[in-house]
Amino acid sequence: MKKTNTPFGFTLVELLVVIAIIGTLAALLLPAVQTAREGARRVDCSNRMRQLALAANLHHGALGYFPPARLQPRPGDPVDLQGGDESPTWLALVMPYIEEASLGAKWDFRKRWHEHDELTRNTVPDIFLCPSRRAGTNPIGAIDLEYTRTIEVVSTSQGDGYRLPCGCWIPGPVVVTTTEAEELAYRGVSGALSDYAGNHGDLSPGATGESTDFYYGGNGTGVIISSRAKTKDGIPVRIHDRIRMKSVKDGQSSTFLFGEKHINAQMLGAYPDDSPAYDGDHLPASCRLAGPGLRLSSGPNDVIADMFSFGSWHTGGTQFAFVDCSVRFLDSDTDTIVLGTMANRRDGRRVELAP
């Protein structure tokens, strides 16, 4: 019987069908792979936040109070409390408790944050970064001199004054002078960026220009708040306003310690939304607020959320570390009244979250 040599192979139609099937399977699998990767990044972010929360608690254990967000004088206070402004923030204070003792030793809290050397200001501990936003990067930001020097003249019940872009209202005659030395000292100052911000509280008693406003020392309703400093010859020597564990009246498991901060994707690395984390002059650099008027952001492209808002690049919500060091994921649609209750350490309302 005679054999025929018939070549074995695919027709063009069969090949196209196989390619189409492989493409369909890849399209079906890709979202699952991306979801798995984001899930892993979120777990990593949670672990970093838990370590940072533990560091804040270790600070409390060592010194008897939580690290203050920054040092900020309050209008009308005596001379011995009028100092310490533009200090390094709480993220520099916790250095000894996140295995960064050598870096922490370089921070001198008697000096302004921008007076430290560039290497100290620009060092970014990995624990400061959310993997979903800045995986594998070493993000450095810089202040914008023109922005920080922009002022708005305002009148309040306390009289005339001027408001800085950070929201800080300065009472007294509107006379603003900046020396050439100050301009040079501030120009191009850079610093490490961070994705986590302390809980400064809610908006009570309101942002109306009064000395009781949230951005003045000792008046934050959160846990990591602005504080005044006892000074000697203008140099800070002791923290005056201290938030202790007993100050958290509403319960450790019901009160934010810190959370992820909202940064729009278009403003990543750009002042003032994403500003150096050690900048104690600009409150949103290291702290955020929550409550009515400040909802959580819905994601990286949210343009409505404020630069005082909490928010993340995780799908569907934002992670918060609580005073008890637990880390929980809150939906982006969480009611702002509930958020304000968890931000306020002493409003007498306790929120029980599902485990």
Domain range annotation of the chain: 34-343
At 184, is the pLDDT very low, low, confident or very high (cuts 50, 70, 90)? very low
Report the C-alpha gap between 179 and 30 in whole angstroms: 57
Can you give the pLDDT at residue 166? 47
CB 255 within 8 A of CB 245: no
Rounded to whole angstroms, the Cα distance separating 219 from 241 reads 9
**pTM for the whole thing?**
0.82
The residues, ordered by sequence, that sit 6+ positions from 65 with a Cβ below 8 Å of its Cβ are: 59, 239, 242, 243, 244
Residue with tokens 């900020």: 72
Q: Provide the CB-side half-sphere exposure for 324 (13 A, CA).
A: 9
- Residue 313: which pLDDT band, with cuts at 50, 70 and 90? very high
Coil, helix or strand at residue 309: coil
What pLDDT is recorded for position 39? 82
**pLDDT at residue 147 tops 80:** no
Question: Of the candidates 285, 318, 100, 112, which has an alpha carbon nearest to the alpha carbon of residue 192?
Answer: 285
Which amino acid does the sequence have at 130? C
Closest by CA to 339, choosing from 280, 270, 290, 271, is 290
* The pLDDT value given to residue 207: 43
Q: How many CB atoms lie within 10 A of CB 251?
A: 15
List C-alpha distances in Å: 12 to 9, 15, 17, 22, 338.
Answer: 10, 5, 9, 15, 61
Q: Does residue 42 surpass a pLDDT of 90?
A: yes
For range 181-203, the mean pLDDT:
80
Q: Looking at this protein, which amino acid is placed at residue 298?
A: S
Whether residue 71 contacts residue 225, with contact meaning beta carbons closer than 8 Å, is answered with: no
Best CA proximity match to 256, nearest among 301, 204, 197, 209: 197
Peptide bond into 205 cis (omega under 30): yes
Q: What is the pLDDT of residue 208?
A: 42
User: Which of 177, 178, 168, 189 is closest to 72 using CA atoms?
Assistant: 168
Q: Which of 70-74, 127-131, 226-230 has the highest mean pLDDT?
A: 127-131
> What pLDDT, on a 0 to 100 scale, did the predictor assign at position 203?
81
Mean pLDDT of 8-19: 71
